[in-house]
Chains A and B, each alone.
Chain A
């Protein structure tokens, strides 16, 4: 009896968070003001975090709030405010026909998911929950050691790349590039480097 009551409570939580997520997701696509859409997205992220909690994946729930609702959504809101987008322009003419494609595809996706849910059963019932702090930590330093290290290479490289592309070009640099281009394209240019040259 006690077990039965427990299941009921977790079902209630699931239903509450799931319906909140769906309503907020609709809000994201139906709002015309991008800021409201962004706020709707924050609600979606938070309710997803609640769903992770009902699966006893508390670490992933916390990360979901910190990374998505915290960092990424703040970035979204900043970009929207900086770009000063007030209302989405009503340029729907190119996407008119996509409407007829989107609805059947959406229904097909729902159908597949419903069918999948029927066969798969409840994953939370399994005893090995991957989302706890212990399990994430253990995985990160055992099975996923190599991907963990590769991720640091990825992030380092992304920092180098974005710093390079975003750096402001000084007038000196531009002049230097122009001089170099002219020098390289002239046949009788003075060699500024000692590198050996062969004429092809």
Chain B
């Protein structure tokens, strides 16, 4: 075996390496410092995440292609999705500092877990082989199981963690079984090689490939919380600390979507009679799943009084909208949608984290009655995030939905019914997004209201999410066009983050 044929290139795994090393450093710092080295750990986390962000932009210097014998790829999907993941991680790290101080939780492990999760998600977003897809997914999932139960004294958090663990493992088993069947049919785990094997008709037994793809679809469907595999979502999101909910509702989903695109929209998008048959089957299945996910998410969200459960169902619905983009196998609208969704969702959860107070005590919509003009900065930010989630212009939520619906309408004429369903669903969703705003601004103030305190780092994270949401709503074209292009055009991506 020639070493050169492995195509080792350390620049291609630089972001993952930086983040993993920083996680180990944090554990050492935590072990050798006196209790609660929160600020140092937060600082190391932030610096390493920013360095990883720079390394992601530097990925283009490695050149487009696959490295480490096809285990990891450098392409526009990886670059864009990695940027989104890192932005979410940076925002969550900024928010975590106040959360950990207010609740006296051990800081070292939390930051280490954020970094490990980020490393796993970056690996998942860049995976070019089913082996790395599986490993990245497991690193990202197991960290989020632990983070969901981070308040160990809280039975809600433990319930959330255990449920997430059991159902997540179940989903992983589906995915793994599907992967083994695909391997059995094509005799390779490399996504490009799978694509070639399908295109050239070198598949041993096509039914195995079909069943394998179906099981993988179930596994991915679980991880992105799409119907009918969404039942774990509300309980898990409600029980976990709000900031963790914000994290696990966005970043892991973004990473799984990247792997989903690499596997289905690229790997299972092959030519040849078998390839077109498989493509037709999975696109139809994804369209049905998308329609179900949007409808169930939105209709159940209508009756939710707990704001975290409401946002959990809303995140289910948003996974459905993002799946609409899959019918054309175009990565750009899906990537843009997920970036926007992550910004507004993390922003909304950040405001709720503050309003719910330490220990998540106030999470019913009624708790927010009349607070609109008491804490104007927080409630106006929440209103903007909710408007954006509902897709009302000029927020980014509108533009992202517009791009994704337009791409599906133009690109898949046979599936236009899906776009109609999606538009009807966005109209339904306006009701439950506006409800908390109405409660905040037009109801009398609930007694015993205390203004939440906002630390500087929290304020920075909120401002980042807010500016991103508005900037992408008004000037989306630079970012949008940077996904479609390969090469060095990706510097435009840094705009919403650095502003």
Q: Give residues in A with beta carbon < 8 Å to B.
A: 112, 115-116, 119-120, 138, 142-147, 150-151, 153-154, 156-158, 160-162, 164-165, 167, 169, 173-174, 176-177, 179-181, 183-187, 193, 195-200
Contacts and interface: CB of A to CB of B under 8 A. Distances in A.
Interface stretch (B390-398, B422-430, B454-462): B454-462
Nearest to A142: B1
B101 A193 contact: yes
Nearest to A138: B1
Q: Which 8 A-B pairs have the closest CB atoms?
A: A161-B146, A180-B104, A184-B102, A184-B358, A157-B116, A146-B68, A200-B377, A146-B71
A160 B135 CA distance: 17
A68 B207 CA distance: 30
Interface string B89-103: 000000000000111
Interface residues of B, number: 65
B191 to A, nearest CB: 14
Interface string B410-436: 000000000000000000000000000
Contacts of A174: 153
Nearest to A144: B131
B153 A147 contact: no
Nearest to B67: A146
A197 B454 contact: yes
B452 interface: yes
B274 interface: no
A165 B149 CA distance: 7
Contacts of B143: 157, 161
Contact of B139 (A154, A176, A186, A197): A154
Contacts of A187: 450-451
B68 A145 contact: yes
Contact of A197 (B103, B138, B453): B453
Contacts of A176: 104
24 contacts: A116-B184, A119-B204, A142-B3, A143-B69, A154-B120, A156-B116, A157-B120, A160-B27, A160-B113, A160-B146, A161-B143, A161-B145, A164-B109, A164-B150, A165-B161, A177-B104, A181-B103, A184-B101, A196-B455, A197-B455, A198-B454, A200-B376, A200-B377, A200-B452
Contacts of B105: 177
B373 interface: no
- Interface SS of chain A: helix, strand, loop or mixed? helix
Given A165-B152, A186-B450, A197-B454, A153 B116 contact: yes
Contacts of A147: 71, 129, 131-132, 135
A200 B378 contact: yes
Contacts of B375: 200
Nearest to A193: B101
Given A154-B142, A157-B143, A199 B451 contact: yes
A181 B102 contact: yes
A156 B119 CA distance: 13
A116 B207 contact: yes
A143 B128 CA distance: 13
B72 A146 contact: yes
Given A161-B143, A165-B149, A197-B453, A116 B205 contact: yes
A196 to B, nearest CB: 5
Contacts of A157: 23, 113, 116, 120, 139, 142-143
Contacts of A115: 205, 207
B123 interface: yes
A199 B454 contact: yes
B121 to A, nearest CB: 12
A147 B139 CA distance: 12
Given A146-B71, A157-B143, A193-B101, A169 B152 contact: yes
Contacts of A196: 455-456
A113 B413 CA distance: 37
Given A116-B205, A145-B6, A153-B116, A158 B142 contact: yes
